[in-house]
Copies of this chain bind each other. A is one copy, B any other.
Amino acid sequence: MRVGVFDSGLGGLTVLKALIGAFPQNSFVYLGDTARTPYGSKSPEVVARYSVECARFLLTKGIDFLVVACNTASSLAMAQIQAEVPCPVVGTIEPSIDEWVRMGSPEPLLILGTRATVQSQAYQRGIISRSPESRQLAVACPLFVPLVEEGILEGPIVDHAMALYLDAYRREHPTAVMLGCTHYPLLRTPIARFFGPQTRIIDSPGAICDRLKQESGFHCPPVITPCTREYYVTDDPTRFQTLAERFLGEPNVVVSRAELASLPSASESINQFKSNAT
């Protein structure tokens, strides 16, 4: 099994790390769209365009299974991705909702995500379809992704950002908090402390691994040919390599540049431009 995994940048490595731990016999191809990160502040249309491009790139790498390790893309672009990709596709939304249902649908449920994810209502609609009467709240935490990307995972800025976004929701005493962004597991400890031990945390990496244990291809025994791990980014590989090695706890991560043709080169001619009033 050759599994493609993509995210807007670094955050999807939380999913990849969990997948490698759970399914070490599989090969993985990771793509981070670092030339256009972040997705969470961009429009549904642009997120869908970028996501389809990422999926197509991974298809050229011969994948048998695609994991959309970006909650913004999972929220806004799953239909478009599935229409493009002949192999099975799993995103972040359904697995997290499955896990919440397995917990007994604790409520009130608080969903944290990017602005694009929360506005898409993808989590909210998914939960209503499973548990129409359940009490749920969703809040966008736009600073959390820049904090994680900057490696600021604890301390007063994190505490004040949590207070800014979450104080009003803590008063609702959520019994479960869903981390609706693959960056947020890196803030799991301060978020869990903020809500206290009575609040259960659901995150995408754990939920996706639980979901994939039901897929036949993920049960195959170890094979003789060694599994491979490939890493691609759309911007400079060097900085990503350093962060990925630190993040995955592995030396010598080899990162290559994914040259998406839609990223402009400096030599493109001027007549490629048009503008449309909206």
Which residues of A are at the interface with B, using a C-beta cutoff of 8 A?
A: 34-37, 41-43, 45-46, 48-50, 52-53, 56-57, 59-61, 80, 142-143, 146-147, 149-150, 152, 155-157, 160-161, 164, 232, 235-237, 239, 255-266, 268, 270, 272-278
CB nearest to A270 among chain B residues: B56
**Shortest Cβ distance from A143 into chain B, in angstroms?**
6
Q: Are A264 and B157 in contact, with the CB atoms below 8 A? A: no
Q: Are A160 and B156 in contact, with the CB atoms below 8 A? A: yes
Q: Contacts A45-B236, A46-B236 given: A278-B256 contact, CB under 8 Å? A: yes
Q: Are A57 and B273 in contact, with the CB atoms below 8 A? A: yes
Q: Are B272 and A46 in contact, with the CB atoms below 8 A? A: no
**Shortest Cβ distance from A48 into chain B, in angstroms?**
6
**Shortest Cβ distance from A7 into chain B, in angstroms?**
15
Instruction: For the A-B complex with A143-B146, A259-B273 known, give 17 more contacts whose Cβ atoms are closer than 8 Å.
Output: A35-B36, A42-B236, A46-B236, A49-B265, A53-B264, A53-B273, A56-B270, A60-B274, A142-B150, A143-B147, A155-B160, A232-B275, A255-B278, A259-B274, A261-B273, A261-B274, A262-B263
Q: Are A264 and B260 in contact, with the CB atoms below 8 A? A: yes
**Shortest Cβ distance from A192 into chain B, in angstroms?**
21
Contact of A273 among B41, B50, B56, B164 (CB under 8 A): B56
Collect the chain B residues with CB atoms within 8 Å of residue A155's CB. Answer: 160
CB nearest to A257 among chain B residues: B278
CB nearest to A140 among chain B residues: B150
Collect the chain B residues with CB atoms within 8 Å of residue A41's CB. Answer: 37, 149
Q: List 20 A-B contacts (CB under 8 A).
A: A35-B36, A35-B42, A35-B46, A37-B41, A41-B149, A42-B235, A43-B236, A46-B263, A48-B266, A49-B266, A50-B264, A56-B270, A237-B278, A256-B275, A256-B277, A256-B278, A257-B278, A258-B273, A259-B275, A260-B273
**Shortest Cβ distance from A76 into chain B, in angstroms?**
12
Collect the chain B residues with CB atoms within 8 Å of residue A276's CB. Answer: 256-257, 259
* Most chain B C-beta atoms within 10 Å of own C-beta, residue among A232, A239, A270: A270
In whole angstroms, how far apart are the Cα atoms of A264 and B49 in the complex? 6
